[in-house]
Amino acid sequence: MLSTKSLLLSFALVGVTSAFVAPKAPTFGTTRFPVSSTSLDAYKKVFVAGGTRGVGRCIVDQLLGQGSEVVALVRSEDALKELNAIEGVTAIRGDAFEQKAVENAMDGCDAAITTLGGATSDGGKRVDYDGNSNVIESAGILGVTRVILVTSVGCGSSKEAAPPNVFEALKEVLTAKEKAENVLIKYYTNMNWTIIRPGGLKSEPATGKAILTEDTRAIGTIHREDVAALAIKALNSSNTERKVLTAIDPSIDSAVSDGKQVEAFAV
């Protein structure tokens, strides 16, 4: 069971990813998952922002497992070399705080997934908002209409699900992520977007029991590999278009879960 202290840390690490961390990225998601064939023909080349670590790296690995090409925006030279060494991945060096760099990297892709979060610019801007907004804007400019935005429980309508101490500790991060959600929902009405809000994250092998739910009160824990698997299932399912979904794993005990049964969303 995750303690409240551990949950605080795991929420804090939601989306702490790729394009902003100079040290060599760890390799998380090596598990391959079977994916529904729905829409696979439509999304052969997927842009990933946040793809060198955490959930984003798991997404890269699992996209490759379903046969998609991946274009990943990275900031460090080490990440560039590491990802470009993987067959099926094109890593492009750039800064998610720069809209044109994001647009240039995304050009030619037919879907986009972003897990950006955690980093700040020298001017104090948060990638949770500015970086994700640049991904959304670039998709709009290029006509990439399928966008998956991974944020966190505690954003928007799920604010009440987060324990008060967790929300207060991460208020600045959650507010920035929520602003990015609102940009996508309010201004990009021609997009088939999906927003996924994971609960507390753990870096352990997938259980295969995680779910998406429309229940905005749902709270709990989920492994990063399972978030990635759900994100790809959402990408390939028309049922998830224009939906805001929480991602949790009911099979994992959590210090903040109330134990109530949560209805799973049919992906």
Q: How far apart are CA 221 and CA 240, in angstroms?
A: 21
Q: Other C-beta atoms within 10 Å of 8: how many?
A: 17
**Pairing between strand 243-248 and 192-198?**
parallel
Q: How far apart are CA 15 and CA 177, in angstroms?
A: 10
According to the model, what pLDDT value does residue 9 have?
47
129 pLDDT more than 80 = yes
**Pairing between strand 243-248 and 211-213?**
antiparallel
Structure tokens at 154: 């505690």
Provide the pLDDT confidence category of residue 120 given band limits of 50, 70 and 90: confident
42 pLDDT more than 90 = no
% helix / strand / coil in the chain, to the nearest 5? Answer: 35, 20, 45
Mean pLDDT of 208-219: 97
231 pLDDT more than 70 = yes
Q: Could you tell me what percent of the chain has a pLDDT over 90? A: 77
Closest CA to 60 of 248, 225, 239, 202: 225
According to the model, what pLDDT value does residue 32 have?
38
- All domains of the chain in start order, with CATH: 4-248 (3.40.50.720)
According to the model, what pLDDT value does residue 39 have?
47
- DSSP helix/strand/coil, 67: coil
Q: Other C-beta atoms within 10 Å of 25: how many?
A: 21
Contact 29, 224 (CB under 8 A): yes
CA angle 39, 215, 224 (to 5 degrees): 60
Provide the pLDDT confidence category of residue 10 given band limits of 50, 70 and 90: low
Residue 74 identity: V
Q: How far apart are CA 61 and CA 227, in angstroms?
A: 13
According to the model, what pLDDT value does residue 253 have?
85
According to the model, what pLDDT value does residue 254 have?
72
According to the model, what pLDDT value does residue 121 have?
72
Model confidence pLDDT, tens digit, residues 28-38: 333 433 343 34
Model confidence pLDDT, tens digit, residues 79-91: 999 999 999 999 9
User: DSSP assignment of 132-194, as one string?
Assistant: HHHHHHHHHHHT--EEEEE--TTSGGGGGGS-HHHHHHTHHHHHHHHHHHHHHHHH-TTSEEE
Structure tokens at 185: 């929902």
Instruction: Provide CB contacts within 8 A for 99, sequence distance 6+.
Output: 134, 137, 138
Q: Other C-beta atoms within 10 Å of 144: how many?
A: 22
Q: How far apart are CA 205 and CA 28, in angstroms?
A: 9
Mean pLDDT of 16-38: 36
Which value, to the nearest 10 degrees, does the dihedral of the CA atoms of residues 33, 50, 160, 246 take?
A: -20
Model confidence pLDDT, tens digit, residues 65-117: 999 999 999 999 999 999 999 999 999 999 999 999 999 999 999 999 999 99
**pTM for this predicted structure:** 0.85
Helices 130-142 and 99-106 cross at an angle (nearest 10°) of 50
Model confidence pLDDT, tens digit, residues 199-212: 999 999 999 999 99
